Structure 1
Amino acid sequence: MGTLAPLAEEPESEEEGLSANKRGSFRSWLKNLQLFHRKSNLKALLSVMACPLSPVSILPKQLRGVASSAEYIIQQFRATSGCGKLERNPVKSMFAAGRVEMTGKHGPSAAAASSSGQEGSFVMWQMSPAMWLINLKIAGLHVSAGSDGHVAWRRTPWLAAHTAKGGVRPLRRALQGLDPMAIVAIFSSAQHIGDKQIDEEDCFILRLEVDASKLSYQSDNTVEIIEHVMFGSFSERSGLLLHLEDTQLMRIQCPGAQSMFWKTTISSWMKDYEPTNGVMVARSGRSVVNLEQFGVSGDKTMSVSMIMEERWIIDDVDFNVPGLSADFFIPPEGIKRLS
């Protein structure tokens, strides 16, 4: 990835002008998205990869002792990632800036026709796992998302600011080796299901499944979240999180039409862990998304897939950012009315 003009390294609060025909929700746009229209590639890439959320919220749970193999794995991660330092000297905020490159391919294999790679950059601020803001710009398009601890929202050039279903959850990028405290909190209720090699390194595998009540809360009358499962692969040697994968299956039922299914699998590999103020941070990595759309259309069975890839490099990361306050995370005006 080449050198890019940096984004402004302070949270943006001004409203972007949006015409009435851009108002709506991500779900209404998703219902109309056709993966086989290649001009939709970049929109699909940004909608799925720019700012996905964790499947679950941060749980108010503290580990006490080593009562299971899963808790042992998390305790090992805490020790090697620097969580102890963060607990002794509480971190009030975090900042990260980096570069991304995104590509999309149509078809189920790596040999499928692909779109040209698009380069961009992002900045992220966080005061807690539930209070965050991210701005990402790529190919002249700007996607932003945030949470004030009470409501999460997102805004794209083709959709006005809208709330995220399912309540406040951490940003998935924070779990990609940036925020060890969030990783501990998210996986504190996971189960150890076995071992697996990731990039020729032996790893413990933790499985986290979203329960039915939370799936129902994230669903509505047209979109039903059927399943959402996350796996974390922690190195047996270093204790660090090397691989993160989550799969979501949902059913979309539009009035007068047959149900369609969407299956989204995001796999992320974290690389180049380096200490920053005593905390181990993954400085690079990549994510691969497999997006499948299938169902019955008329008298035909339809199945379309798209593979997306993002590579990222973290150029700057810091903790306890001077001057950052809760005021920077106030949602856009429209979101206030919705919340």
Structure 2
Amino acid sequence: MKQPAAKSSLRRLCPNINKEDGLETVLEIPIPEEMFSTMGNNVALRWQNMLTWMKAQTEDKLATPTVASRLNELRFLLYLVGCPLIPLQVQLGHSVHRPVRDCSIEASTAKYIVQQYIAATGGQPALNAVDSMCVTGQIKISASDFYHTGQSIEVKKTSEEMGGFVLWQKDPDLWCLEVVLSGCKVCCGSNGKVSWRHSSNQQTPVQRGAPRPLRRFLQGLDPRATANLFLDAACIGEKIINDEECFILKLETSPAIRDAQSGPNFEIIHHTIWGYFSQRSGLLVQFEDCRLHSMRTKDDNDIFWQTSLESVIEDYKYVDGINVSHSGKTRVTVSRYGEQSANHKKELEERWKIEEVDFNIWGLNAESFLPPSNLEKT
């Protein structure tokens, strides 16, 4: 007998505030019940407060310093933690087998570990049968203020921000993510030729770049992309992660890829990725990456930013024969150097929970991943 579905902790419908017997509206992005419950003493007041907040997201309101500062902080959290990209063009099509001949022992060992991971996540036939995917989930993000790295103080996080997201993907490299965090909406995507990212604040221009995968895919959602990413890695040792003995696979971004992802005032100096694969289960239990880039200011000064992300991947469950992670936590450390010789650091944390995963979405095509109409103007 099929087990009854667990009650979702995401709210998906909005009642008709102006007409009591009117049809409910389906929310484009579900919001966590916990977030909704903090917006008033009763359901009607909560929806009214939410609608009022959304109506305030107009250009005249956004011009006020308080609202603008708040949205800038939320966008910073979303860009850095909620929807970061990986500066590698991962093959998202069918998994490929690389020959182990003429490989170093570290590279051939990594290929063997990846094959064990493919088996642990459902096997090659199951992964190759996936054509598209839709994921809904919720996130909670907290962050500290910037502080001097030399200060020996206890870093306290600010209040926790809550939100929800919807992620669409179609094989091989089409994807779109929409995420709302405390009312601030950010969209990002890739149509296979260009990737983009922009927020609900229309005063913020659309950011564009070469096609890149979303980091969230590699946090247990897309085993095929993860396998293809680490096929070119090297096994550098072993480490115990949360009482699990793990193999460590390491991958360095090549100079050619770094140059392709850099811009006239922006240079990626290095980007290194590590994957920790359980020796017992074969699953990816931790994913880390560290990148260093420099930015040239208007005064021709260089500011260096180093971002380290560490994701613990948990709660694997089978969906249509594929083993997918349903929760996890990411810790982020952002360091800034070179600005008036002052070094600053900021610490962030994201916790996520996947509510629903569906594969092979009927009717999803390339037109579902068109970039914003004003992308060419940026």
- TM-score tier, shorter chain, comes to 0.7 to 0.9
Q: Which residue of the partner structure matches residue 143 of structure 2?
A: 104
Aligned with 2:97 (options 47, 55, 63):
63
Q: CA offsets, 1:246-284, max 9 Å, x none?
A: 111011122324211100111111000011111000010
CA contact (8 A) 2:133 2:358 kept: yes
The superposition leaves residues 13-41 of structure 1 with CA deviations (integer Å, 9 ceiling, x where unpaired) of xxxx9869x9xxxxxxxxxxxxxx99854
- Cα displacement (A) at 1:84: 1.7
The answer to whether the aligner puts 1:318 opposite 2:324 as a matched pair is no
- Contact kept, 8 Å, 1:102 with 1:310, in 2: the verdict is yes
Aligned to 2:19: none
State the match for 2:206 in structure 1.
161
> How many angstroms does 1:5 deviate by?
2.6
Q: Secondary structure at the match of 2:131?
A: coil
The CA distance in 2 between the partners of 1:258 and 1:87, in whole Å, is 47
**Residue equivalent to 1:5:** 11
1:150 aligns to what SS in structure 2? Answer: coil
Contact 1:51 1:172 in 2 (8 A): yes
- Cα pair 1:85 1:278 within 8 Å, conserved: no
The one-letter code matched in structure 1 to 2:96 is Q
2:75 corresponding residue in structure 1: 43
Indicate which of 180, 196, 202 corresponds to 2:245.
202
Q: How does 1:132-171 map to 2 (within 5 A)?
A: 132-158=175-201, 159-164=204-209, 167-171=210-214
What secondary structure is seen at the aligned counterpart in 2 of 1:273? strand
- TM-score normalised according to structure 1 size: 0.84
| Cα deviation, residue 86, structure 1 | 2.6
Q: Does 1:176 align with 2:219?
A: yes
DSSP-derived class of the 2:344 partner: strand
Using the size of structure 2 for normalisation, the TM-score is 0.76
- How many Å separate the matches in 1 of 2:347 and 2:76? 10
The reply to whether residue 282 of structure 1 matches residue 325 of structure 2 is yes
Structure 1 residue 110: Cα displacement:
9.2
Residue 230 of structure 1 deviates from its aligned partner by 0.6
Aligned residues: 310
Note the residue ranges of structure 2 that are not aligned, 5 or more in a row.
Answer: 1-7, 13-26, 31-56, 63-68, 102-107
Verify: 1:85 aligned to 2:139, yes or no. Answer: no
**In 2, are the aligned partners of 1:234 and 1:241 still within 8 Å (CA)?**
yes
CA distance in structure 2 between the partners assigned to 1:188 and 1:110 by the alignment = 42
Residue identity opposite 1:326 in structure 2 = A
Structure 1 residues 307 and 202: alpha-carbon distance in aligned structure 2, compared to 1, 3 A threshold? same
Question: Distance in 2 between the 1:129 and 1:115 partners?
Answer: 39
> Are 2:377 and 1:334 equivalent residues in the alignment?
no
3-state SS of paired residue (2:206): strand
Q: Which amino acid aligns with 2:286?
A: H
Percent same amino acid among aligned pairs? 35
For the residue of structure 2 that corresponds to 1:232, the secondary structure is strand
Letter in 2 for 1:235: S
> In the superposition, relative to structure 1, how do residues 155 and 39 fare at CA in structure 2: closer, same or farther (>3 Å)?
closer
1:223 aligns with 2:302: no
Counterpart in the other structure of 2:160: 117
Secondary structure at 1:170 match in 2:
coil
What is the aligned counterpart of 2:283 among 229, 236, 240? 240
Task: Assess, with a 3 A threshold, how the Cα gap between structure 1 residues 18 and 225 changes in structure 2: closer, same or farther.
Answer: farther
Decide whether aligned partners of structure 1 residues 317 and 226 sit closer, same or farther in structure 2, where only a CA change above 3 A counts: same
1:54 aligned residue (86, 97, 104): 86
Residue segments in structure 1 that go unaligned for 5+ positions in a row: 11-16, 23-36
- Greater shift, 56-65 or 208-217, is seen at 56-65
Q: Could you tell me how far apart the structure 1 residues matched to 2:306 and 2:29 are?
A: 35
* Mapped contact 2:75–2:186 kept (Cα < 8 A): no
Q: CA deviation at 1:289?
A: 0.8
Q: 1:87 to 1:139 in 2, by over 3 A?
A: closer
Larger Rg: 2
Query: Are 2:84 and 2:215, in contact at CA under 8 Å, matched by a contact in 1?
Result: yes
Give secondary structure in 1 for the equivalent of 2:11.
coil
Amino acid at match of 2:74: L
